[in-house]
Chain A
Amino acid sequence: MYDTIIIGAGMSGLAAGIRLAYYDQRVCVLERHYTIGGLNSFYRLRGRDYDVGLHAVTNFTPKGTKKGPFARLLRQLRFRWEDFTLAPQIGSAIRFPDMELQFNNDIKLLESQIATRFPHEKDRFQQLLRELVDYDDLQQEHFNLSARQVLGQTLRDPLLIEALLCPLMWYGNPCERDMAFGQFCIMFRSIFLEGFARPFRGVRPILRNLVKRFRSLGGELRLRSGVSRIVVRDGRAVGVVLDDGQQIEARRILSSAGYVETMRLCDDISCVETDRAGRLSFVESISILDKQPAELGYDRTIVFFNDSDRFHWQMPQEDLCDVRTGVICSPNNYAYDLSDGQLPDGVIRITALASFDRWTSLSESQYRLAKLHWFDRLAASAVRFMPDYRANVIDTDMFTPSTIRRFTWHDNGAVYGAPEKRLDGTTHLKNVFLCGTDQGFVGIIGSIVSGISIANQHCLKD
Protein backbone atom coordinates (compact mmCIF):
# COMPACT_ATOMS: atom_id res chain seq x y z
CA MET A 1 0.00 0.00 0.00
CA TYR A 2 1.45 3.32 -1.11
CA ASP A 3 0.56 6.74 0.23
CA THR A 4 0.63 8.12 -3.30
CA ILE A 5 0.89 6.57 -6.74
CA ILE A 6 2.04 8.96 -9.43
CA ILE A 7 1.17 8.21 -13.04
CA GLY A 8 3.92 9.32 -15.42
CA ALA A 9 7.65 9.89 -14.91
CA GLY A 10 7.81 13.24 -16.68
CA MET A 11 8.96 16.47 -15.10
CA SER A 12 5.79 17.05 -13.08
CA GLY A 13 5.43 13.48 -11.81
CA LEU A 14 9.05 13.26 -10.70
CA ALA A 15 8.90 16.65 -8.99
CA ALA A 16 5.75 15.70 -7.11
CA GLY A 17 7.43 12.43 -6.18
CA ILE A 18 10.40 14.27 -4.68
CA ARG A 19 8.17 16.47 -2.54
CA LEU A 20 6.19 13.52 -1.19
CA ALA A 21 9.15 11.23 -0.65
CA TYR A 22 11.03 14.04 1.09
CA TYR A 23 8.20 14.21 3.60
CA ASP A 24 8.41 10.47 4.20
CA GLN A 25 5.55 9.23 2.09
CA ARG A 26 5.68 5.87 0.38
CA VAL A 27 5.57 6.96 -3.26
CA CYS A 28 5.66 5.01 -6.48
CA VAL A 29 5.99 6.63 -9.91
CA LEU A 30 4.60 4.43 -12.69
CA GLU A 31 5.79 5.03 -16.25
CA ARG A 32 4.61 3.12 -19.29
CA HIS A 33 7.61 3.98 -21.47
CA TYR A 34 10.99 2.29 -20.99
CA THR A 35 12.53 5.64 -20.11
CA ILE A 36 11.67 8.79 -18.19
CA GLY A 37 10.86 12.31 -19.32
CA GLY A 38 7.40 12.16 -20.95
CA LEU A 39 7.06 15.15 -23.26
CA ASN A 40 10.63 16.12 -22.38
CA SER A 41 12.49 12.91 -22.95
CA PHE A 42 15.64 12.06 -24.91
CA TYR A 43 16.99 9.39 -27.24
CA ARG A 44 20.07 8.28 -29.11
CA LEU A 45 20.18 7.75 -32.85
CA ARG A 46 23.14 6.81 -35.09
CA GLY A 47 25.65 7.77 -32.42
CA ARG A 48 24.15 11.14 -31.48
CA ASP A 49 22.19 12.33 -28.46
CA TYR A 50 18.86 14.06 -29.09
CA ASP A 51 16.32 15.77 -26.89
CA VAL A 52 12.66 15.14 -27.63
CA GLY A 53 11.03 18.38 -26.67
CA LEU A 54 13.55 20.84 -25.35
CA HIS A 55 14.18 23.95 -27.43
CA ALA A 56 14.76 26.23 -24.51
CA VAL A 57 14.14 26.07 -20.80
CA THR A 58 11.72 28.97 -20.32
CA ASN A 59 11.24 30.75 -16.95
CA PHE A 60 15.03 31.16 -16.68
CA THR A 61 16.11 33.67 -14.05
CA PRO A 62 19.70 34.47 -13.00
CA LYS A 63 21.32 33.10 -9.89
CA GLY A 64 20.13 34.83 -6.74
CA THR A 65 16.66 35.69 -8.09
CA LYS A 66 14.16 35.09 -5.32
CA LYS A 67 10.88 35.37 -7.17
CA GLY A 68 9.37 33.35 -9.96
CA PRO A 69 8.87 29.66 -10.74
CA PHE A 70 12.55 28.77 -11.09
CA ALA A 71 13.50 30.19 -7.68
CA ARG A 72 10.47 28.49 -6.20
CA LEU A 73 11.34 25.08 -7.59
CA LEU A 74 14.93 25.33 -6.36
CA ARG A 75 13.72 26.05 -2.83
CA GLN A 76 10.96 23.50 -2.86
CA LEU A 77 13.09 20.66 -4.19
CA ARG A 78 16.22 21.77 -2.30
CA PHE A 79 18.35 22.14 -5.42
CA ARG A 80 21.09 24.65 -6.00
CA TRP A 81 20.85 27.00 -8.99
CA GLU A 82 24.03 25.40 -10.33
CA ASP A 83 22.42 21.96 -10.37
CA PHE A 84 20.50 22.91 -13.50
CA THR A 85 23.68 23.99 -15.37
CA LEU A 86 21.69 26.49 -17.40
CA ALA A 87 23.37 28.69 -20.00
CA PRO A 88 21.37 31.75 -21.13
CA GLN A 89 20.28 32.32 -24.71
CA ILE A 90 22.27 34.54 -27.07
CA GLY A 91 19.20 36.21 -28.53
CA SER A 92 15.94 35.36 -30.24
CA ALA A 93 13.58 37.00 -32.70
CA ILE A 94 10.04 37.19 -34.00
CA ARG A 95 10.14 37.46 -37.78
CA PHE A 96 7.20 38.46 -39.97
CA PRO A 97 7.45 39.72 -43.56
CA ASP A 98 9.46 42.98 -43.39
CA MET A 99 9.28 43.09 -39.60
CA GLU A 100 11.57 41.76 -36.92
CA LEU A 101 11.39 42.07 -33.15
CA GLN A 102 14.45 40.88 -31.29
CA PHE A 103 14.36 39.85 -27.67
CA ASN A 104 16.61 38.26 -25.10
CA ASN A 105 16.51 37.65 -21.36
CA ASP A 106 16.33 41.39 -20.64
CA ILE A 107 12.91 42.90 -21.37
CA LYS A 108 14.63 46.21 -22.23
CA LEU A 109 15.64 44.85 -25.64
CA LEU A 110 12.05 44.02 -26.55
CA GLU A 111 10.90 47.39 -25.21
CA SER A 112 13.40 49.25 -27.37
CA GLN A 113 12.59 47.11 -30.41
CA ILE A 114 8.91 47.95 -30.00
CA ALA A 115 9.73 51.63 -29.48
CA THR A 116 11.64 51.60 -32.79
CA ARG A 117 9.29 49.47 -34.94
CA PHE A 118 6.03 50.55 -33.33
CA PRO A 119 6.73 54.03 -31.86
CA HIS A 120 2.99 54.75 -31.66
CA GLU A 121 2.58 51.69 -29.37
CA LYS A 122 5.45 52.39 -27.00
CA ASP A 123 3.35 53.71 -24.11
CA ARG A 124 0.56 51.24 -24.60
CA PHE A 125 3.05 48.38 -24.46
CA GLN A 126 4.18 49.72 -21.07
CA GLN A 127 0.55 49.70 -20.00
CA LEU A 128 0.25 46.08 -21.13
CA LEU A 129 3.24 45.19 -18.95
CA ARG A 130 1.44 46.71 -15.96
CA GLU A 131 -1.76 44.78 -16.74
CA LEU A 132 -0.09 41.37 -16.73
CA VAL A 133 -1.31 39.17 -13.91
CA ASP A 134 1.30 37.59 -11.65
CA TYR A 135 1.50 33.78 -11.46
CA ASP A 136 0.00 33.51 -8.00
CA ASP A 137 -2.83 35.90 -8.74
CA LEU A 138 -4.29 33.87 -11.59
CA GLN A 139 -7.89 33.01 -10.82
CA GLN A 140 -9.92 30.55 -12.85
CA GLU A 141 -12.54 33.21 -13.78
CA HIS A 142 -10.03 35.70 -15.26
CA PHE A 143 -7.86 32.95 -16.65
CA ASN A 144 -10.28 32.21 -19.46
CA LEU A 145 -10.73 35.76 -20.77
CA SER A 146 -9.75 36.13 -24.42
CA ALA A 147 -6.14 37.28 -24.76
CA ARG A 148 -6.94 38.77 -28.18
CA GLN A 149 -9.71 40.83 -26.64
CA VAL A 150 -7.59 42.05 -23.72
CA LEU A 151 -4.71 42.89 -26.07
CA GLY A 152 -7.11 44.66 -28.42
CA GLN A 153 -8.22 46.91 -25.58
CA THR A 154 -4.65 47.95 -24.80
CA LEU A 155 -2.75 47.88 -28.10
CA ARG A 156 -3.89 49.42 -31.39
CA ASP A 157 -1.59 47.95 -34.02
CA PRO A 158 -2.84 44.52 -35.14
CA LEU A 159 0.62 43.58 -36.40
CA LEU A 160 2.16 44.08 -32.95
CA ILE A 161 -0.60 41.97 -31.38
CA GLU A 162 0.05 39.15 -33.85
CA ALA A 163 3.82 39.42 -33.33
CA LEU A 164 3.50 39.17 -29.54
CA LEU A 165 1.05 36.28 -29.69
CA CYS A 166 3.24 34.28 -32.08
CA PRO A 167 5.98 33.11 -29.68
CA LEU A 168 3.62 32.91 -26.70
CA MET A 169 1.17 30.68 -28.52
CA TRP A 170 3.99 28.61 -30.00
CA TYR A 171 5.47 27.81 -26.63
CA GLY A 172 2.37 27.02 -24.67
CA ASN A 173 -1.09 27.66 -26.09
CA PRO A 174 -3.32 24.57 -26.16
CA CYS A 175 -6.26 26.50 -27.70
CA GLU A 176 -6.74 27.21 -31.37
CA ARG A 177 -6.83 30.78 -32.75
CA ASP A 178 -7.13 32.62 -29.43
CA MET A 179 -5.42 32.18 -26.09
CA ALA A 180 -6.69 32.32 -22.53
CA PHE A 181 -5.52 35.57 -20.94
CA GLY A 182 -4.18 33.63 -17.95
CA GLN A 183 -2.11 31.45 -20.26
CA PHE A 184 -0.95 34.61 -22.05
CA CYS A 185 0.28 36.07 -18.74
CA ILE A 186 2.08 32.84 -17.82
CA MET A 187 3.78 32.66 -21.21
CA PHE A 188 4.60 36.37 -21.37
CA ARG A 189 6.36 36.15 -18.02
CA SER A 190 8.15 32.93 -18.76
CA ILE A 191 9.45 34.06 -22.17
CA PHE A 192 9.80 37.86 -22.17
CA LEU A 193 10.18 38.78 -18.49
CA GLU A 194 12.19 35.73 -17.45
CA GLY A 195 13.83 34.06 -20.40
CA PHE A 196 15.45 31.19 -22.28
CA ALA A 197 18.34 29.00 -21.22
CA ARG A 198 19.59 25.49 -21.87
CA PRO A 199 21.87 23.01 -20.13
CA PHE A 200 24.92 22.22 -22.26
CA ARG A 201 23.95 18.56 -22.23
CA GLY A 202 20.28 19.19 -22.89
CA VAL A 203 17.43 17.70 -20.91
CA ARG A 204 19.37 14.68 -19.60
CA PRO A 205 21.08 16.30 -16.58
CA ILE A 206 17.77 17.80 -15.40
CA LEU A 207 16.02 14.45 -15.52
CA ARG A 208 19.01 12.71 -13.98
CA ASN A 209 18.97 15.15 -11.05
CA LEU A 210 15.26 14.62 -10.48
CA VAL A 211 15.44 10.83 -10.56
CA LYS A 212 18.55 10.69 -8.41
CA ARG A 213 16.94 12.88 -5.78
CA PHE A 214 13.67 10.96 -5.89
CA ARG A 215 15.40 7.62 -5.42
CA SER A 216 17.73 8.89 -2.70
CA LEU A 217 14.62 9.86 -0.71
CA GLY A 218 13.27 6.34 -0.95
CA GLY A 219 10.93 6.91 -3.90
CA GLU A 220 10.20 4.01 -6.20
CA LEU A 221 10.26 4.40 -9.98
CA ARG A 222 8.87 1.65 -12.18
CA LEU A 223 9.42 1.84 -15.92
CA ARG A 224 7.46 -0.26 -18.45
CA SER A 225 4.60 -0.09 -15.95
CA GLY A 226 1.67 1.52 -17.71
CA VAL A 227 -1.52 2.05 -15.74
CA SER A 228 -4.46 0.52 -17.57
CA ARG A 229 -7.12 1.31 -14.97
CA ILE A 230 -7.74 3.32 -11.82
CA VAL A 231 -9.88 1.20 -9.50
CA VAL A 232 -12.73 3.18 -7.95
CA ARG A 233 -14.84 2.00 -5.01
CA ASP A 234 -17.57 4.17 -3.45
CA GLY A 235 -16.33 7.41 -4.93
CA ARG A 236 -12.69 6.86 -4.02
CA ALA A 237 -9.75 5.49 -5.92
CA VAL A 238 -8.30 2.49 -4.12
CA GLY A 239 -5.46 1.66 -6.48
CA VAL A 240 -4.45 0.95 -10.04
CA VAL A 241 -4.20 -2.02 -12.37
CA LEU A 242 -1.13 -2.15 -14.58
CA ASP A 243 -1.06 -3.18 -18.24
CA ASP A 244 0.20 -6.62 -17.18
CA GLY A 245 -2.69 -7.09 -14.76
CA GLN A 246 -0.81 -6.42 -11.55
CA GLN A 247 -2.80 -4.51 -8.91
CA ILE A 248 -1.29 -1.84 -6.70
CA GLU A 249 -3.08 -0.17 -3.80
CA ALA A 250 -2.69 3.46 -2.84
CA ARG A 251 -4.35 6.04 -0.63
CA ARG A 252 -4.32 8.58 -3.43
CA ILE A 253 -3.35 8.99 -7.06
CA LEU A 254 -1.68 11.85 -8.79
CA SER A 255 -1.85 11.65 -12.55
CA SER A 256 0.18 13.51 -15.15
CA ALA A 257 -1.52 11.63 -17.98
CA GLY A 258 -3.80 14.56 -18.84
CA TYR A 259 -7.41 15.23 -17.88
CA VAL A 260 -9.23 13.24 -20.56
CA GLU A 261 -6.60 10.50 -20.46
CA THR A 262 -6.96 10.16 -16.69
CA MET A 263 -10.77 10.11 -16.83
CA ARG A 264 -10.55 7.27 -19.33
CA LEU A 265 -8.55 5.27 -16.77
CA CYS A 266 -11.13 5.67 -14.01
CA ASP A 267 -13.35 2.60 -13.98
CA ASP A 268 -16.35 4.54 -12.67
CA ILE A 269 -16.53 6.57 -15.89
CA SER A 270 -18.05 4.93 -18.93
CA CYS A 271 -18.15 7.86 -21.34
CA VAL A 272 -15.19 10.17 -21.65
CA GLU A 273 -15.57 13.62 -23.15
CA THR A 274 -12.78 13.12 -25.67
CA ASP A 275 -13.53 16.42 -27.38
CA ARG A 276 -12.09 18.17 -24.34
CA ALA A 277 -8.61 16.84 -25.09
CA GLY A 278 -6.05 19.09 -26.71
CA ARG A 279 -5.80 19.02 -30.51
CA LEU A 280 -2.67 20.94 -31.32
CA SER A 281 0.25 18.80 -32.31
CA PHE A 282 3.49 19.32 -34.15
CA VAL A 283 6.03 17.96 -36.53
CA GLU A 284 9.65 18.74 -35.96
CA SER A 285 12.57 18.30 -38.32
CA ILE A 286 16.01 17.98 -36.78
CA SER A 287 19.03 18.60 -38.98
CA ILE A 288 22.59 17.85 -37.98
CA LEU A 289 24.96 20.22 -39.79
CA ASP A 290 28.61 19.84 -40.74
CA LYS A 291 29.37 23.21 -39.16
CA GLN A 292 28.10 25.47 -36.41
CA PRO A 293 25.04 27.54 -37.40
CA ALA A 294 27.02 30.70 -36.55
CA GLU A 295 29.48 29.80 -39.34
CA LEU A 296 26.54 29.98 -41.72
CA GLY A 297 25.68 33.42 -40.41
CA TYR A 298 22.92 32.21 -38.08
CA ASP A 299 23.41 33.16 -34.44
CA ARG A 300 19.84 33.35 -33.13
CA THR A 301 18.73 31.02 -30.35
CA ILE A 302 15.07 30.79 -31.32
CA VAL A 303 13.26 32.42 -34.25
CA PHE A 304 9.47 32.42 -34.39
CA PHE A 305 8.42 33.08 -37.98
CA ASN A 306 5.15 33.80 -39.67
CA ASP A 307 4.84 34.52 -43.38
CA SER A 308 1.94 36.97 -43.39
CA ASP A 309 0.66 39.78 -41.19
CA ARG A 310 -1.90 37.47 -39.61
CA PHE A 311 -0.73 34.67 -37.32
CA HIS A 312 -2.68 31.46 -37.87
CA TRP A 313 -2.65 29.17 -34.84
CA GLN A 314 -4.87 26.22 -35.57
CA MET A 315 -4.77 22.59 -36.52
CA PRO A 316 -4.02 22.30 -40.25
CA GLN A 317 -7.32 21.85 -42.09
CA GLU A 318 -6.25 21.04 -45.63
CA ASP A 319 -2.99 19.21 -45.23
CA LEU A 320 -0.76 17.19 -42.88
CA CYS A 321 1.14 20.29 -41.77
CA ASP A 322 0.90 24.05 -41.87
CA VAL A 323 4.27 25.62 -42.59
CA ARG A 324 3.16 29.24 -42.79
CA THR A 325 4.41 29.68 -39.25
CA GLY A 326 7.10 27.82 -37.37
CA VAL A 327 9.88 27.83 -34.81
CA ILE A 328 13.57 27.60 -35.66
CA CYS A 329 15.75 26.50 -32.78
CA SER A 330 19.49 26.10 -32.62
CA PRO A 331 20.78 24.54 -29.40
CA ASN A 332 24.24 25.78 -30.41
CA ASN A 333 23.28 29.40 -29.93
CA TYR A 334 23.43 29.62 -26.15
CA ALA A 335 26.16 31.32 -24.12
CA TYR A 336 27.68 28.11 -22.81
CA ASP A 337 30.39 28.12 -20.22
CA LEU A 338 33.85 28.39 -21.74
CA SER A 339 34.84 25.15 -20.01
CA ASP A 340 32.04 23.37 -21.90
CA GLY A 341 32.97 24.80 -25.27
CA GLN A 342 30.50 24.26 -28.09
CA LEU A 343 28.22 21.34 -28.96
CA PRO A 344 30.00 18.83 -31.21
CA ASP A 345 27.51 19.23 -34.08
CA GLY A 346 25.57 22.09 -35.52
CA VAL A 347 21.84 21.51 -35.00
CA ILE A 348 18.78 23.18 -36.50
CA ARG A 349 15.32 22.16 -35.33
CA ILE A 350 12.23 23.39 -37.18
CA THR A 351 8.76 22.93 -35.73
CA ALA A 352 5.42 23.32 -37.52
CA LEU A 353 1.76 22.67 -36.73
CA ALA A 354 0.50 19.24 -37.75
CA SER A 355 -2.77 17.33 -37.91
CA PHE A 356 -2.86 14.24 -35.71
CA ASP A 357 -5.78 12.70 -37.61
CA ARG A 358 -4.10 13.07 -40.99
CA TRP A 359 -0.74 11.73 -39.85
CA THR A 360 -2.22 8.73 -38.08
CA SER A 361 -4.43 7.75 -41.01
CA LEU A 362 -1.43 7.18 -43.31
CA SER A 363 -0.24 3.71 -44.19
CA GLU A 364 3.31 2.75 -43.23
CA SER A 365 4.73 3.56 -46.67
CA GLN A 366 2.70 6.78 -47.01
CA TYR A 367 3.95 7.81 -43.58
CA ARG A 368 7.60 7.37 -44.54
CA LEU A 369 7.11 9.36 -47.74
CA ALA A 370 5.19 12.08 -45.94
CA LYS A 371 8.03 12.50 -43.47
CA LEU A 372 10.50 13.05 -46.31
CA HIS A 373 8.16 15.40 -48.13
CA TRP A 374 7.37 17.54 -45.10
CA PHE A 375 10.95 17.60 -43.93
CA ASP A 376 11.72 19.45 -47.18
CA ARG A 377 8.66 21.69 -46.93
CA LEU A 378 9.58 22.74 -43.38
CA ALA A 379 13.13 23.58 -44.39
CA ALA A 380 11.97 25.47 -47.48
CA SER A 381 9.61 27.53 -45.38
CA ALA A 382 12.17 28.27 -42.66
CA VAL A 383 14.99 29.40 -44.97
CA ARG A 384 12.86 32.39 -45.91
CA PHE A 385 13.68 33.63 -42.40
CA MET A 386 17.24 32.33 -41.89
CA PRO A 387 20.34 31.47 -43.91
CA ASP A 388 19.92 28.40 -46.11
CA TYR A 389 21.52 25.50 -44.24
CA ARG A 390 20.31 22.68 -46.48
CA ALA A 391 23.65 22.04 -48.21
CA ASN A 392 25.26 21.42 -44.81
CA VAL A 393 22.94 18.72 -43.50
CA ILE A 394 24.71 15.47 -42.62
CA ASP A 395 21.99 13.65 -40.67
CA THR A 396 18.30 14.16 -39.97
CA ASP A 397 15.46 12.99 -37.83
CA MET A 398 11.82 13.95 -37.68
CA PHE A 399 8.98 13.45 -35.26
CA THR A 400 5.27 13.69 -36.01
CA PRO A 401 2.04 13.66 -33.99
CA SER A 402 2.12 9.83 -34.21
CA THR A 403 5.52 9.82 -32.52
CA ILE A 404 4.29 12.08 -29.72
CA ARG A 405 1.23 9.90 -29.17
CA ARG A 406 3.32 6.72 -29.14
CA PHE A 407 5.63 7.92 -26.39
CA THR A 408 3.37 10.14 -24.27
CA TRP A 409 -0.09 8.54 -24.70
CA HIS A 410 -1.58 12.01 -24.84
CA ASP A 411 -4.75 12.12 -26.94
CA ASN A 412 -4.17 13.57 -30.43
CA GLY A 413 -0.44 13.83 -29.77
CA ALA A 414 -1.27 17.07 -27.94
CA VAL A 415 1.78 18.82 -26.54
CA TYR A 416 0.28 21.58 -24.41
CA GLY A 417 -2.58 19.59 -22.92
CA ALA A 418 -6.29 20.32 -22.90
CA PRO A 419 -7.58 23.79 -23.84
CA GLU A 420 -9.50 24.00 -20.58
CA LYS A 421 -7.02 24.17 -17.73
CA ARG A 422 -7.81 22.84 -14.27
CA LEU A 423 -5.74 25.11 -12.09
CA ASP A 424 -6.53 23.37 -8.82
CA GLY A 425 -5.81 19.85 -10.12
CA THR A 426 -8.98 18.31 -8.67
CA THR A 427 -11.16 15.66 -10.32
CA HIS A 428 -14.57 14.11 -9.57
CA LEU A 429 -12.78 11.74 -7.16
CA LYS A 430 -11.59 13.23 -3.91
CA ASN A 431 -8.30 11.33 -3.88
CA VAL A 432 -7.34 11.60 -7.55
CA PHE A 433 -5.48 14.71 -8.68
CA LEU A 434 -3.96 16.03 -11.89
CA CYS A 435 -0.58 17.59 -12.46
CA GLY A 436 1.36 18.45 -15.61
CA THR A 437 0.37 20.26 -18.78
CA ASP A 438 -3.34 20.34 -17.99
CA GLN A 439 -2.62 22.69 -15.15
CA GLY A 440 -1.60 25.68 -17.23
CA PHE A 441 2.10 25.72 -16.50
CA VAL A 442 4.10 24.46 -19.44
CA GLY A 443 7.76 24.07 -20.24
CA ILE A 444 10.26 22.27 -18.09
CA ILE A 445 10.19 24.60 -15.10
CA GLY A 446 6.43 25.07 -15.39
CA SER A 447 5.80 21.33 -15.34
CA ILE A 448 8.06 20.85 -12.36
CA VAL A 449 6.27 23.64 -10.47
CA SER A 450 2.92 22.09 -11.40
CA GLY A 451 3.97 18.80 -9.80
CA ILE A 452 5.21 20.61 -6.70
CA SER A 453 2.12 22.74 -6.23
CA ILE A 454 -0.36 19.90 -6.64
CA ALA A 455 1.65 17.71 -4.26
CA ASN A 456 1.63 20.56 -1.74
CA GLN A 457 -2.04 21.40 -2.08
CA HIS A 458 -3.53 17.94 -2.07
CA CYS A 459 -1.08 15.27 -1.02
CA LEU A 460 0.87 16.59 1.94
CA LYS A 461 -1.52 18.11 4.40
CA ASP A 462 -3.20 15.03 5.84
Chain B
Amino acid sequence: MTPAEIRGQVLDILENIAPDEDLDSLQDDVSFREQLEMDSMDFLDIVMELRKRHRIQIPEEDYGQLASMASTVEYLTPLMKDI
Protein backbone atom coordinates (compact mmCIF):
# COMPACT_ATOMS: atom_id res chain seq x y z
CA MET B 1 0.00 0.00 0.00
CA THR B 2 1.06 3.55 -0.59
CA PRO B 3 1.15 6.03 2.28
CA ALA B 4 -2.06 7.58 0.92
CA GLU B 5 -3.80 4.21 0.95
CA ILE B 6 -2.54 3.49 4.44
CA ARG B 7 -3.92 6.84 5.56
CA GLY B 8 -7.28 5.82 4.15
CA GLN B 9 -7.16 2.54 6.06
CA VAL B 10 -6.35 4.30 9.34
CA LEU B 11 -9.14 6.79 8.71
CA ASP B 12 -11.52 3.90 8.18
CA ILE B 13 -10.46 2.42 11.51
CA LEU B 14 -10.92 5.75 13.28
CA GLU B 15 -14.40 6.04 11.82
CA ASN B 16 -15.21 2.61 13.15
CA ILE B 17 -13.86 3.35 16.64
CA ALA B 18 -15.27 6.85 17.00
CA PRO B 19 -18.25 7.17 14.67
CA ASP B 20 -19.30 10.54 16.11
CA GLU B 21 -16.01 12.32 15.41
CA ASP B 22 -15.63 14.74 12.52
CA LEU B 23 -12.64 13.26 10.74
CA ASP B 24 -12.74 15.51 7.66
CA SER B 25 -10.90 18.23 9.50
CA LEU B 26 -8.31 15.89 11.02
CA GLN B 27 -4.84 17.45 11.01
CA ASP B 28 -2.18 14.88 10.28
CA ASP B 29 0.59 16.52 12.30
CA VAL B 30 -1.44 17.06 15.46
CA SER B 31 -1.85 14.15 17.86
CA PHE B 32 -5.09 12.19 17.81
CA ARG B 33 -5.45 12.80 21.52
CA GLU B 34 -5.54 16.57 21.04
CA GLN B 35 -8.12 16.49 18.28
CA LEU B 36 -10.32 13.55 19.09
CA GLU B 37 -11.93 12.38 22.30
CA MET B 38 -9.81 9.26 22.45
CA ASP B 39 -8.58 7.40 25.48
CA SER B 40 -6.09 4.59 25.93
CA MET B 41 -8.78 2.01 25.19
CA ASP B 42 -9.41 3.63 21.82
CA PHE B 43 -5.68 3.57 21.03
CA LEU B 44 -5.62 -0.12 21.77
CA ASP B 45 -8.40 -0.45 19.22
CA ILE B 46 -6.29 1.11 16.49
CA VAL B 47 -3.64 -1.52 17.17
CA MET B 48 -6.18 -4.32 17.36
CA GLU B 49 -8.00 -3.26 14.21
CA LEU B 50 -4.72 -3.19 12.28
CA ARG B 51 -4.10 -6.72 13.46
CA LYS B 52 -7.63 -7.87 12.65
CA ARG B 53 -7.78 -6.26 9.22
CA HIS B 54 -4.19 -6.46 7.99
CA ARG B 55 -2.50 -9.05 10.22
CA ILE B 56 0.01 -6.47 11.44
CA GLN B 57 1.47 -7.12 14.90
CA ILE B 58 2.51 -3.98 16.72
CA PRO B 59 4.55 -4.58 19.90
CA GLU B 60 3.41 -2.62 22.94
CA GLU B 61 6.62 -0.57 23.05
CA ASP B 62 5.76 0.86 19.63
CA TYR B 63 2.26 2.08 20.58
CA GLY B 64 3.73 5.58 20.99
CA GLN B 65 4.40 5.68 17.26
CA LEU B 66 0.67 5.87 16.65
CA ALA B 67 0.21 9.29 18.26
CA SER B 68 -0.78 11.24 15.15
CA MET B 69 -1.89 10.39 11.64
CA ALA B 70 1.51 11.43 10.18
CA SER B 71 3.53 9.30 12.60
CA THR B 72 1.14 6.37 12.21
CA VAL B 73 1.41 6.38 8.42
CA GLU B 74 5.17 6.71 8.64
CA TYR B 75 5.38 3.80 11.06
CA LEU B 76 3.06 1.61 9.01
CA THR B 77 4.54 2.32 5.57
CA PRO B 78 7.35 -0.28 5.71
CA LEU B 79 5.02 -2.77 7.42
CA MET B 80 2.24 -2.42 4.86
CA LYS B 81 4.14 -1.79 1.64
CA ASP B 82 3.66 -5.37 0.43
CA ILE B 83 -0.02 -5.65 1.31
Contacts and interface: CB of A to CB of B under 8 A. Distances in A.
B59 to A, nearest CB: 10
B48 A23 contact: yes
Nearest to B21: A66
A113 interface: no
A23 B52 contact: yes
A76 B52 CA distance: 15
B18 A456 contact: no
Contact of B48 (A64, A453, A460): A460
Contacts of B18: 75
A249 B52 CA distance: 24
A23 B48 CA distance: 7
B60 A76 contact: no
A75 B60 contact: no
B45 interface: yes
Contacts of A75: 17-18, 41-42, 45
Contact of B60 (A67, A452, A461): A461
Interface string A35-71: 0000000000000000000000000000010110001
B41 A76 contact: yes
Interface in A425-462: 452-453, 456, 460-461
A78 interface: yes
Contacts of A78: 16
A72 B41 contact: yes
A22 B44 CA distance: 13
B51 interface: yes
Given A24-B52, A66-B20, A460-B48, A453 B37 contact: no
B39 interface: yes
Dominant SS among interface residues on chain B: helix
B12 to A, nearest CB: 14
A295 interface: no
B20 A64 contact: yes
Nearest to A80: B19
Nearest to B63: A461
Contacts of B37: 66-67, 71
A136 interface: yes
Contacts of A72: 39, 41
A456 B20 contact: no
Nearest to A78: B16
Contacts of B41: 72, 75-76, 452-453, 456
Most chain-B CB neighbours within 10 Å: which of A64, A75, A76? A75
A67 B45 CA distance: 17
A71 B18 CA distance: 10
A136 B39 CA distance: 10
Contacts of A453: 41
A134 to B, nearest CB: 11
A75 B13 CA distance: 12
A456 B43 CA distance: 11
A24 B51 CA distance: 10
A66 B41 CA distance: 13
A76 B39 CA distance: 11
A22 B53 CA distance: 11
Contact of B45 (A24, A71, A76, A136): A76
In the complex, the 7 A-B pairs of residues with the closest C-beta atoms, listed nearest first:
A66-B37, A23-B48, A456-B44, A456-B41, A23-B52, A76-B41, A75-B17
8 contacts: A23-B52, A64-B20, A75-B45, A76-B41, A76-B45, A452-B41, A453-B41, A456-B44
Interface of B: 16-18, 20, 37, 39, 41-42, 44-45, 48, 51-52, 60
Given A22-B52, A456-B44, 9 more contacts: A23-B48, A23-B51, A64-B20, A67-B37, A75-B42, A75-B45, A456-B41, A460-B44, A460-B48
